[in-house]
């Protein structure tokens, strides 16, 4: 009878302290409305995730270029880098639909992530691969290809049945996935995406927390945690590293969300002081606010007020109509 796949790690007091702090910070973030009414901030965070995860893999596009690619604009840059961004955007859009406990879904998303980049997109590797740090040094040589399918099935069986807290077991999964390195290419970006998918299945807000950006800022420690965990034959150091990364990402989001609300509240307050119960055009409102940029007015004043349900449109089914006017709803 085959032995069950049981990843080697130990839950320590330090891990439990980190989990406790993360849960406390998640509570603070939940109290700030969980980004539900902040679509622009969600988009910014998603772009951070994609840019950071690909930058770790030496993608040369700037965050501004990544934003333009996602917005469908033309970008001058290496073709493979542009395709990688387009693919990653499609893959991250699937977060809400992914079953992170399904090996079939993993293969499907890898197929999306690596489409047009490698011929084996969505297929388990048949050759030898390894993990290289930013200096090109091998930090881990993956198991032989003939073991990969069995190891992956075992890993998914374990994650489905493990009673451990998701913060810990998603980190274990991330390490074990990188240890197995099941694909010819794209393992790093898939491992990071899959930890996010596991966390989002537990707390949906994780779909919008750019954990990847903190990893990018700490690449050397990331690769070192993988290498040292492999050397020690258990993932404790990697778990602790990822718990710190997750906590820092949440704290950054708390700050960003507060700043966004403060900025939004200032702009909305100004708009609500000049808007009336009778219909007024965007031009009329801009004159009252002494604003010249229509784009800036829409982005910083009008849309946030619409999103907050404070103002209404006279033609809600035609939001870009030339005859569109706005009224106060309070």
Which tops the pLDDT comparison, 295 or 23?
Answer: 23
Do both 47 and 125 map to the same domain? yes
Q: What is the pLDDT of residue 35?
A: 56
Answer yes or no: are the C-beta atoms of 176 and 235 closer than 8 Å: yes
Decide which of 204, 222, 257 is a domain's last residue.
257
Do both 117 and 207 map to the same domain? yes
Among 90-99, 156-165, 269-278, 282-291, name the one with the lowest average pLDDT: 269-278
Do both 100 and 207 map to the same domain? yes
Per cent of the chain over pLDDT 90 is: 72
Domain that holds residue 127: 13-257
Say if residue 127's pLDDT is above 60. Answer: yes
> Hunting for tokens 């609300």 — which residue is that?
261
Say if residue 173's pLDDT is above 90. Answer: yes
Do both 237 and 284 map to the same domain? no
Decide which of 226, 257, 288 is a domain's last residue.
257
Which tops the pLDDT comparison, 287 or 261?
Answer: 287
Do both 98 and 139 map to the same domain? yes
The mean per-residue pLDDT over the stretch 227-252 comes to 97
pLDDT interval class at 97 (50, 70, 90): very high
Say if residue 72's pLDDT is above 60. Answer: yes
Residue 240 structure tokens: 């602790």
Cα–Cα distance measured from residue 133 to residue 220, given in angstroms and rounded to the nearest whole number: 7
Which tops the pLDDT comparison, 318 or 22?
Answer: 22
Do both 247 and 143 map to the same domain? yes
Say if residue 255's pLDDT is above 90. Answer: no
Q: What is the pLDDT of residue 207?
A: 94
Say if residue 142's pLDDT is above 90. Answer: no
Do both 298 and 218 map to the same domain? no
Q: Mind listing the pLDDT tens digit for each residue in 28-50?
A: 887 655 455 567 778 899 999 99
Do both 65 and 167 map to the same domain? yes
pLDDT interval class at 328 (50, 70, 90): confident
> Hunting for tokens 């809400």 — which residue is that?
96
Q: What is the pLDDT of residue 261?
A: 65
Nearest Cα residue to 70 out of 92, 55, 41, 53: 92
Do both 193 and 300 map to the same domain? no
Q: What is the pLDDT of residue 31?
A: 63
* 168, part of any domain: yes
Do both 66 and 102 map to the same domain? yes
Q: Mind listing the pLDDT tens digit for each residue in 275-305?
A: 887 899 999 999 999 999 988 898 888 988 8
Do both 286 and 240 map to the same domain? no
Q: What is the pLDDT of residue 1?
A: 46
* 263, part of any domain: no
Mean pLDDT of the chain: 92
Answer yes or no: are the C-beta atoms of 125 and 118 closer than 8 Å: no
Residue 2 structure tokens: 């085959």
Collect all residues with Cβ–Cβ distance below 8 Å to 120 and sequence separation of at least 6: 114, 126, 183, 184
Q: What is the pLDDT of residue 310?
A: 79
Decide which of 257, 284, 314 is a domain's last residue.
257
Answer yes or no: are the C-beta atoms of 110 and 152 closer than 8 Å: no
Q: What is the pLDDT of residue 32?
A: 55
Say if residue 59's pLDDT is above 80. Answer: yes
* CATH code, domain carrying 127: 1.10.3290.10
Say if residue 91's pLDDT is above 80. Answer: yes
Do both 218 and 297 map to the same domain? no
Q: What is the pLDDT of residue 299?
A: 86
Concatenated DSSP letters of 176-197? HHHHH--SSS-HHHHHHHHHHH
């Amino acid at each position: 009878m085959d032995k069950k796949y049981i990843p080697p790690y130990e839950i320590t007091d330090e891990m439990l302290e980190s989990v406790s702090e993360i849960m406390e910070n998640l509570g603070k973030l939940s109290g700030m409305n969980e980004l539900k009414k902040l679509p622009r901030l969600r988009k910014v965070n998603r772009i951070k995730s994609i840019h950071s995860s690909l930058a770790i893999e030496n993608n040369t596009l700037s965050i501004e270029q990544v934003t333009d690619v996602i917005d469908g604009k033309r970008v001058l840059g290496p073709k493979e880098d542009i395709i990688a961004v387009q693919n990653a955007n499609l893959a991250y859009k699937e977060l809400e639909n992914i079953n992170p406990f399904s090996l079939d879904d993993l293969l499907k998303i890898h197929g999306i992530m690596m489409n047009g980049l490698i011929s084996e997109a969505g297929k388990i590797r048949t050759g030898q691969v390894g993990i290289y740090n930013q200096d090109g040094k091998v930090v881990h040589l993956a198991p032989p290809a003939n073991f990969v399918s069995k190891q992956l099935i075992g890993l998914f069986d374990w994650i489905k049945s493990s009673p451990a807290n998701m913060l810990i077991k998603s980190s274990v999964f991330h390490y074990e996935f990188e240890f197995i390195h099941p694909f010819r290419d794209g393992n790093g970006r898939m491992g990071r995406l899959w930890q996010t998918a596991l966390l989002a299945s537990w707390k949906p807000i994780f779909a919008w927390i750019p954990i990847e950006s903190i990893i990018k800022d700490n690449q050397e420690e990331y690769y070192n945690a993988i290498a040292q965990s492999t050397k020690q034959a258990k993932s404790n150091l990697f778990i602790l590293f990822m718990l710190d990364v997750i906590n820092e990402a949440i704290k950054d989001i708390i700050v960003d969300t507060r700043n966004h609300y403060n900025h939004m509240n200032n702009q909305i307050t100004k708009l609500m002081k000049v808007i009336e119960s009778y219909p007024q055009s965007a031009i009329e409102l801009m004159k009252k606010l002494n604003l010249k940029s229509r784009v800036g007015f829409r982005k910083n004043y009008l849309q946030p007020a619409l999103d907050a349900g404070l103002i209404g449109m006279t033609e809600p089914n035609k939001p870009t109509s030339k005859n569109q006017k706005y009224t106060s709803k309070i």
